Chain A
Amino acid sequence: MTHQDEYNFAYLDEQTKRMIRRAILKGLAIPGYQVPFASREMPMPYGWGTGGVQVSAAVLTPDDTLKVIDQGADDTTNAVSIRTFFERTAGVETTTATTDASVIQTRHRIPEEPLTEGQILVYQVPIPEPLRFLEPRESETRKMHALEEYGLMHVKLYEDISRHGHIATSYAYPVKVEGRYVMDPSPIPKFDNPKLGDMAAVQLFGAGREQRIYALPPYTDVVSLDFEDHPFEASKADQICGLCGAEDSYLDEVITDDRGGRLFCCSDTDYCLSRRNAGFQGPAFPENEVTK
């Protein structure tokens, strides 16, 4: 560990991790508040999860088991490379099973399997400022947060309804935390919004390019913004998973051929696989089953 030719545990030096941990603790103390932190250059481009990686690096211990998902999948490039990154720089165990993981870094999804106490969910956040869409001045948005002036957030939803007849925002749907801060939950589908609140696990959000960290401690009150006459609805494709038959999970639409063939399947690959292993089958089986 102290060898010159080896990385420090989890890549970042100890001082940087301390700095990030302080930001995380502050974030946990003020749920939903964006804490500025001195984001470091990481050996991957912005947009690949540099914020999440720094937060993961700061919370990982040698005993942790890490899972990384990208849009719910453990097997996409982004997930694989971040998982490999920590295997090499921290030497921690990795897993694809949600229940086995103690730290889960995610890009744009919350696992279907309910998380438990002791687990940490780390989100990668591209734009932490929910008000930016309508108020580009950072000085002004900070003031708006400070003074709890959130009328503008509803202007965004108003515009949605006036243009589409319903709230068309389907991801990065703004929430209010503990009746105080309005927060961007990162681009998770709004289907996942109800899981944000009252969650047993710790939720940490890291935005690398924007240099912000924010957090939700366990069992935090999180409410999705809406209008009385246009209440929030957690929506998903009105289908069941073609592979495992799940009716309650968030589905991806996969184009299967160039003749209009399509398949809806769980975006959470671990959830889908464990259901199939437990014997559940969707309508797309058995013909399409790929032998493991």
Chain B
Amino acid sequence: MTPLLSVNGITKTYGTHIGCADVSFDLYPGEVMGIVGESGSGKSTLLNCMAGHLVPDAGEVVFDTRADGPKDTVTMSEPERRMLSRTDWAFVHQHARDGLRMGVSAGGNVGERLMAVGERNYGDIRDKATDWLERVEISSDRVDDRPTTFSGGMQQRLQIARNLVTGPRLVFMDEPTGGLDVSVQARLLDLLRGLVRDMGLSAIIVTHDLAVVRLLADRLMVMKSGRVVEAGLTDQVLDDPQHVYSQLLVSSVLQV
């Protein structure tokens, strides 16, 4: 089987400071991988390098494109990469307002990606937007409301709908449940799990919340000072961590 995403030796430095160093892994279709580590461990830098928001100093991010098979997205042309990020990729920001157009209605937010890939029938676009709002548990009568009138959890769900409407194959998530109430987090996790299973999505989730990765991720990478110190099955890494830092990380979590 061809990996959906194959990351080879990604390195990004900021001057003398290491963002992330020599990170490699393969992600297969349908897999969800978590990346954990404390603030500054390089997990967000890595995510942004993979998603094309940052240019790595070295390394490849090979994505199995629908048209041409595996292609390095770091060296592919910008139009091609941007096209990927509108179609086969999705990016869920920690703060919904970074991923939404706050001045545009919920329907317009969801419809944007459809229009970006050439849909030109208002009725169809609206139907799909409404359908997606319902899938993320937002009442369809809110379709014309702006996200500014939504709660934090609703905004995050709207952001997810907006990202998934074009049926992407790979979703990057940056602390998707950060900043939300615990009860709202649970609802979102449940939603994400269902979507991942039903759509056969692959996902890379950056978080510092070990409970989130335990519930969502099949695999886990632990990062420390820009390097991957341990990787493996999520429950194996959490229940039998091998590296000194992973052991510290796991033992530092308050039990509930």
Asked if the two chains touch in their complex, CB atoms less than 8 Å apart, one says yes
Q: Flag if A158 contacts B116 (CB, 8 Å).
A: no
| Residues of A within 8 A of B (CB-CB), count | 19
The stretch of B19-27, B101-109, B203-211, B214-222 that contacts the partner chain: B101-109
A134–B82 contact, CB under 8 A?
Answer: no
**Chain A residues within 8 Å of B112, by CB:** 151-152, 155
Contact A155–B101 (Cβ < 8 Å): yes
Q: Are B122 and A159 in contact (CB under 8 A)?
A: no
Please state if A227 and B120 are interface contacts (CB–CB under 8 Å). Answer: yes
User: In this assembly, does B125 line the interface, its C-beta being within 8 Å of a C-beta of chain A?
Assistant: yes
B144 near A155 with CB under 8 A, answer no
Given contacts A151-B115, A158-B108, A159-B108, contact A134 B101 (CB under 8 A): yes
Question: A229 to chain B: which residues have CB within 8 Å?
Answer: 121-123
Known: A134-B101, A147-B79, A155-B115. A228 touches B120 (CB 8 A): yes
Contacts A134-B103, A147-B78, A162-B144 known; A155 to B120 CB distance under 8 Å? Answer: no
CA distance A151 to B123 in the complex (A): 16
CA distance A152 to B123 in the complex (A): 17
Main secondary structure of the interface of B (DSSP, over half): helix
A154 partner residues in chain B, CB cutoff 8 A: 115, 120
A152 to B109, CA, bound (A): 10
Q: Is the CB of A152 within 8 A of B116?
A: yes
Which residues from B are CB-within-8-Å of A148? 79
- Are A149 and B108 touching (Cβ within 8 A)? no
- Bound complex: CA of A243 vs CA of B101, how far in Å? 47
Chain B nearest CB: distance from A145 CB in Å?
Answer: 12
Q: Does B96 contact A (CB under 8 A)?
A: no
**Once the chains are docked, how many angstroms separate the CA of A230 from the CA of B120?**
9
Q: Does B117 contact A (CB under 8 A)?
A: yes
Per the 8 Å Cβ criterion, residues 69-125 of B in contact with A are 78-79, 82, 86, 101, 103-105, 107-108, 111-117, 120-123, 125
Q: Are A158 and B78 in contact (CB under 8 A)?
A: no
A163 close to B (CB within 8 Å)? yes
As a 0/1 sequence over residues 124 to 139 of chain A, the CB contacts with chain B under 8 angstroms (1 = contact) are 0000000000100000
Confirm or deny: A30 has a beta carbon within 8 angstroms of a beta carbon on chain B. Answer: no
* CB contact under 8 A between A227 and B122, given known A162-B107, A162-B144: yes
Known: A134-B101, A149-B116, A152-B116. A230 touches B78 (CB 8 A): no
In the assembled complex, which residues on chain B have CB atoms less than 8 Å from the CB atom of A149? 82, 86, 116
A97 within 8 A of B: no
Whether A158 lies near B115 (C-beta < 8 A) is yes
Residue interface mask A157-171, B partner, CB < 8 A = 1: 011011100000000
* A159→B86 CA distance, assembly (Å): 20
Report the minimal beta-carbon distance from A181 to chain B, rounded to whole angstroms: 15
Bound CA span A155–B113, Å: 9
A147, A155, A159, A228: residue with the most chain B Cβ atoms closer than 10 Å: A155
Inter-chain CA distance A148–B111, complex, in Å, is 18
Interface set, chain B 1-36, CB cutoff 8 A to A: none
CB proximity to A under 8 Å, residues B124-147: 125-126, 143-144
Which residue of B is nearest A158, CB measured?
B108
The answer for the CA separation of A147 and B82 in the assembled complex, in Å, is 9
A261 to B123, CA, bound (A): 41
Interface string of A218-248 (1 = CB under 8 A from B): 0000000011111000000000000000000
Asked whether A151 lies within 8 Å of B117 as measured between CB atoms, the reply is yes
B112, B115, B144 — most chain A CB neighbours (10 Å): B115
- Convert A197-237 into 0s and 1s, putting 1 for each residue whose CB lies closer than 8 angstroms to a CB of B: 00000000000000000000000000000111110000000
User: Is the Cβ of A158 less than 8 Å from the Cβ of B122?
Assistant: yes
Which residues from A are CB-within-8-Å of B86? Answer: 149, 151
- Cβ of B161 to closest chain A Cβ, rounded Å: 15
From B104, B114, B121, contact of A159 by CB (8 A):
B104
* 30 A-B contact pairs sorted by A residue (CB < 8 Å): A134-B103, A147-B79, A147-B82, A148-B79, A149-B82, A151-B113, A151-B114, A151-B115, A151-B116, A154-B120, A155-B101, A155-B111, A155-B112, A155-B115, A158-B111, A158-B115, A158-B122, A158-B125, A158-B126, A159-B105, A161-B122, A162-B107, A162-B108, A162-B126, A162-B143, A227-B121, A228-B122, A229-B121, A229-B123, A230-B122
Residues of B within 8 A of A (CB): 78-79, 82, 86, 101, 103-105, 107-108, 111-117, 120-123, 125-126, 143-144
Q: Which 8 A-B pairs have the closest CB atoms?
A: A151-B116, A154-B115, A227-B122, A151-B115, A228-B121, A147-B79, A155-B108, A155-B112
